[in-house]
Structure 1
Amino acid sequence: VAPLITYALADIFDEIGLPPGVFNLVSGYGPVVGEAIAGHPEVDMVSFTGSTRAGKRVGAIASESIKKVALELGGKSANVILDDADLAAAVADGVQKCYLNSGQTCSALTRMLVPADKVDEAAAIAAEVAKNFAIGDPVEATSVLGPLVNSNQLKRVRGYIEKGIEEGATAVLDGRETGFQTGYYVGPTVFSRVTEDMTIANEEIFGPVLSIIGYSDEDDAVRIANNTPYGLAGGVWSGDADRAEKVARRLRAGQVEVNGGAFNVSAPFGGYKQSGIGREAGVIGLEEFLETKAIQR
């Protein structure tokens, strides 16, 4: 449903003189084109980026011809803010990491974990920061949150917000109504006092919806962070960098940023568990596309 960037990439390959056949673009829907590619006996490998549900289908079809797959799928990533962290800085950065691309980011830090006695304070900070995320046409310089990709996604995200309210979470900021008569807009949404059993704490929403969850101690924070079928990304904040790194190593996620560390495009990217198989980017990402051959003489 968002093919234009791929066509731009094809134009770039043509402009730089890449030999014909090295890159081919076939556009179409997953159930038709995707299944044809994944199931074709002369396709040696399939690399797929998308939902976990679609990734399972790709893997199942690819297994019929025993081909290699690399899957970069969904996430429900946790941002662990420890008790010695600068709460204001950590929350502000966390809101930004949750709302990137209007929340339509697989690695979005959608679960913010804070000490139980700081939940209300964190929620107030998050709401104040989120209010400054201007909604509007993405071509306008003042816009921070653009529209969702289509009407189905708009309905889906609004439905999750309604579900969160129904299940007892506190909507500190409700983005269902934006004032726009056209366009698939959802405003910044912040939920406080979210519990582990709630739908918004477990399912990928893919919209600008932040869930703030309280924890009792460091071990509890790690447990909550790992209590998900996903494991794509994560974050850890602490006033002690060594402590933050130790907690980061305990998270079952493919990429964890410490104290707001910048995304590294050269680092391997991918997930644990149902967030995928294999890695993208960096040397390891290139090696996903290689077969190893041993020749003895």
Structure 2
Amino acid sequence: MRDYTKFYIDGKWVEPAAGAKTLDVINPADESVAGRISLGTAADVDAAAKAAHRAFQTFSRTSREERIALLERIIEEYKKRFDDMAAAITEEMGAPTVLAQRAQAPMGVGHLQTALNVLKNYKFEEERGGTIIVKEPIGVCGFITPWNWPVNQIACKVAPALATGCTMVLKPSEIAPFSGQIFAEIMDAAGVPAGVFNLVNGDGPTVGAAISSHPLIDMVSFTGSTRAGIEVAKNAAPTVKRVHQELGGKSPNIILDDADFDRAVSGGVRSVMNNSGQSCNAPTRMLVPAARMEEAINIARAAAEATVVGKPQDKVTIGPVVSETQFKKIQGLIQKGVDEGATLVAGGPGRPEGLDKGYYVKPTVFANVTNEMTIAKEEIFGPVLSIIGYKDVDEAVRIGNDTEYGLAAYVSGSDPAKIREVASRLRAGQVILNGAAPDLMAPFGGYKMSGNGREWGDHAFGEFLEVKAVLGAPKQAAE
């Protein structure tokens, strides 16, 4: 059993402040206790924020070359711990071994490498006549990260923050904290200067609120539910700090009539089921021509039935969802879909046959869904797809945009001009055409209630920089 009861503050592993409680971390595959962590308090956040504030005075003045060397060391140490990271993710949140090895853990090193590549050529200064526009590190950053892609969300914040000269305090999800612990060990082994990176475990209402409201923390970056993101913004408001939010989604997947229908429908099902449906950008609303609903049903049923659910260490497509709380929420929403009259195509309430322990959910597909139904409106965050019919492209776009969210959208079709035109009408931060692969340089973030700001690639750097205008700057003497 993992015992991770210390915090990483000011370059040392330290005991929590007085009054800290411990929390058992549950393995969702078998409901056993996999480890324990300490739940920090405002005092722990204060110690970490003060350490980061002190470290900022020197780290913010480091050269590009020094930060390049630091990121290179972190990448080297990450690669040494790659298998440990993948195993931790499987244990803490139930990702199948193959997903942890091929997607979850690689995203961590991917974001670090991307930040390194961007840093090498990023322009921190620009001359405009007699004025110099300077981009400087914003200061101490507070990071509150989720459990669904745990190291992905840690790395996509930490990497650009380090690259731009910021210091930070991280609170990983208390539900899936093991990967955060290993990440901190990687940072320590890489020789990150004391106070630059700090880790405090804890829950949202205590540690998350303390990070959001702390006067020495200059910006907070949060990934999670829209509800929690609103609380972060409220807590941050009195200190007028910058707030970056990557929140929920209910992404439309518009399949046009000229698409490769079998490929688009089956691919859409697989995309929703991936990671047990626990991705904020999952294409959970599939829009198909109403006249082809039965065809879509047959393809989607076959794809859902081909989705193998089981223990993460086995050769399965998906493992459990992360917790009992999530399991109960998903079960309630599946039942809601049945009660509201959607056609149950595959799956349904209850655990899959033969899986009586662990938080396993049947791969579920509903058809003949209307956009007013609960399952079409709420983010389920489980392996549940809603298929909605449309009469023409205008209606498909209207339905696609008829949501409070705007994180991602998907379009499939054979006419390049047509799918580009549909993409231009969708109110979402990222639009994926014909199942395009992820791009770590593509900005990631949402419109509307899906948040504000952007992560990934060079766009992420801007979240961690302040802009200073220096007017009347004298010309530097030629060397």
Q: What is the match of residue 272 of structure 1?
A: 447
- Cα distance in structure 1, aligned partners of 2:244 and 2:439: 20
Q: What pairs with 1:81-160 in structure 2 (closer than 5 Å)?
A: 81-140=255-314, 142-160=315-333
Shift of 1:292: 0.6
Residue 157 of structure 2 is aligned to residue 8 of structure 1: no
- C-alpha deviation, 1:175, in angstroms: 3.9
Superposed, 1:154-169 pairs within 5 Å as 154-169=327-342
Q: What is residue 220 of structure 2 aligned with on the other side? A: 46
Partners in 2 of 1:283 and 1:202 — Cα distance? 33
**Separation in 1 of the partners of 2:254 and 2:430?**
14
For the pair 1:29 / 2:199, whether they are aligned, the reply is no
Percent identical residues: 55
Distance 1:263 1:49 in 2: 19
SS in structure 1 at match of 2:281: coil
Query: d(CA) in 2 for partners of 1:44 and 1:272?
Result: 23
Match in the other structure for 1:58: 232
Give the deviation of 1:15 after TM superposition: 2.3
**Partners of 1:26 and 1:280 in 2: how far apart?**
22
| Distance in 1 (alpha carbons) for counterparts of 2:270 and 2:441 | 22
Tell whether the 8 Å contact from 2:411 to 2:419 is kept in structure 1 after alignment.
yes
* Aligned 8 A contact 1:145 1:187 in 2: no
1:174 counterpart residue number: 347
Question: What residue in structure 2 maps to residue 187 of structure 1?
Answer: 362
**Which whole-Å deviations, capped at 9, do the CAs of 1:27-76 have from their partners, x for residues lacking one?**
11000000000001110000000000000000111111111010000000
Partner residue of 2:428 out of 250, 253, 257: 253
Give me the CA root mean square deviation.
Answer: 0.9
Equivalent residues of 1:102, 1:145 under 8 A apart:
yes
Hey, what's the Cα distance between the residues in 2 that align with 1:63 and 1:199? 32
Distance 1:69 1:139 in 2: 38
TM-score (norm 1): 0.98
What's 1:293 paired with? 468
Aligned length: 296
Which residue pairs with 2:4 in the alignment? none
Task: Find the aligned partners of 1:8 and 1:265 in 2 and give their Cα distance.
Answer: 22
Q: How far, CA to CA, are the matches of 2:471 and 2:461 in structure 1?
A: 25
Out of 219-228 and 123-132, give the one that drifted further. Answer: 123-132
Partner of 1:240: 415
The DSSP-based 3-state class of the residue aligned with 2:283 is coil
CA distance in 1, matches of 2:439, 2:451: 19
Larger Rg belongs to = 2
Q: For residues 68-109 of structure 1, what are the alpha-carbon distances to aligned partners after superposition, in whole Å with 9 as ceiling and x for unaligned?
A: 010000000000000111110001110121112100110110
Cα deviation 1:88-140 (Å, max 9, x = unaligned): 00011101211121001101100000000111211110110111111111122
Q: Which residue matches 1:283? A: 458
Instruction: Give the equivalent residue in structure 2 for 1:216.
Output: 391
Task: State the secondary structure of the residue aligned to 1:106.
Answer: coil
Alpha-carbon distance in 2 for matches of 1:255, 1:163? 29
Instruction: Find the aligned partners of 2:258 and 2:185 in 1 and give their Cα distance.
Output: 50
Partners of 1:148 and 1:207 within 8 A in 2: yes
The answer (yes or no) to whether the contact 2:335–2:348 under 8 Å persists in 1 is no
The Cα shift of 1:269 comes to: 0.2
By percentage of residues, which structure has more helix? 2
Partner-residue secondary structure (3-state), 1:293: strand
SS of 1:33's equivalent in the other structure is helix
Q: TM-score normalized by structure 2?
A: 0.61
Shift of 1:284: 1.0
1:232-290 Cα shifts (integer Å, max 9, x gaps): 00100011122111111111000111011111112110000000010011111111111
How many angstroms does 1:148 deviate by?
A: 0.8
Distance in 2 between residues matched to 1:187 and 1:16, nearest whole Å:
42
- Find the aligned partners of 1:218 and 1:145 in 2 and give their Cα distance: 33
Q: Which has the higher strand share?
A: 2
Give unmatched runs, 5+ long, in structure 2. Answer: 1-174, 473-479
Partner SS for 2:334: helix
Verify the 8 A CA contact 1:48 1:71 in the aligned structure 2.
Answer: yes
- In 2, distance between residues paired with 1:145 and 1:27? 28
Contact 1:76 1:202 in 2 (8 A): yes
